[in-house]
Amino acid sequence: MKKDTLHDFAVFCANKLNRHTQKRDSDLQKMILGLEIVLHNVPKLILLVVVSNFMGILPHSTITWLSFACIRRYASGLHARNSITCTVMTLLMFAAIPYALQDMYLYGEILILIFVVISLMLYKFAPADTASRPILGKRKRAKLKVKAVASSIFLLILTIIFSTESFYVLTAVGAIYAVIAILPCTYFILRRSLNNYEQFE
């Protein structure tokens, strides 16, 4: 679905829903954006599920993606420049790499150290915005930072509770993906602008 068509369909759906919810203009725009994001990502998720299932690693892909999404929700970070790149990266990150790491083992001490580093990186750099989606408001950014760090701690607790090798290795991998997406060096390498909110405050 082309971007303009996808946006038009999101507007159509939002207007239909708004007949019942009666949202204000600002809330309606948020609803449109949310629907657009969902419509944009659903085909990629379906493809990921099909490929992962074919490779016999659907649980592994799911664990990695959920870990990534848990932190990404609050830390934000870079997005691919286009849909094709996004699709390729999605398959690489959540299918190919989990397949390669499915039998990998980590000692508990190393796992804890990894999550300590992840939490420190999130405290230092989260949330990270983009030029198209600046995160406005100092208070909002502070709340997102706290929630991002809390998500990392939550994942660590889960890995301690469910102490199976494949679970905690893939949980750590998903968390690492989320951190890589917010690092200044990643922005520099990919030539993206950092702290875009500064242009509006």
* Tokens encoding 158: 């889960």
Read off the pLDDT of residues 132-162 as tens digits, 9 standing for 90 and up.
Answer: 888 988 999 999 999 999 999 999 998 888 7
Q: Is 128 helix (H, G, I), strand (E, B) or coil?
A: strand
**pLDDT value, residue 93:** 96
Mean pLDDT lowest among 83-87, 103-107, 155-159, 192-196: 103-107
What gap in Å lies between CA 68 and CA 177, rounded to an integer?
6
3-state secondary structure of 76: strand
The half-sphere exposure of 112 on its side-chain side, counting CA atoms within 13 A, is: 5
For residue 127 the two structure tokens come to 């949330």
Which carries the bigger pLDDT value, residue 24 or residue 189?
189
What is the 3-state composition of the chain as percent helix, strand, coil, each rounded to the nearest 5?
Answer: 75, 0, 20
The pTM of the full predicted model, rounded to 2 decimals, is 0.84
Ranking 26-30, 80-84, 91-95, 120-124 by mean pLDDT, the lowest is: 26-30
- Band (2; pLDDT cuts 50, 70, 90): very low
- pLDDT tens digits along 92-143: 999 999 999 988 887 778 888 999 999 999 999 999 998 888 898 899 999 9
pLDDT at 86: 87
Which residues lie below 8 Å from residue 53, measured CB to CB, with a gap of 6+? none
CA distance linking residue 201 with residue 192, whole number of Å: 19
CB 100 within 8 A of CB 170: no
Contact 95, 48 (CB under 8 A): yes
| Cα–Cα dist 136/141, whole Å | 7
Confidence of residue 183 (pLDDT cuts 50, 70, 90): very high
113 vs 11, residue with greater confidence: 113
Q: Report the 10 Å Cβ neighbour count for 174.
A: 26
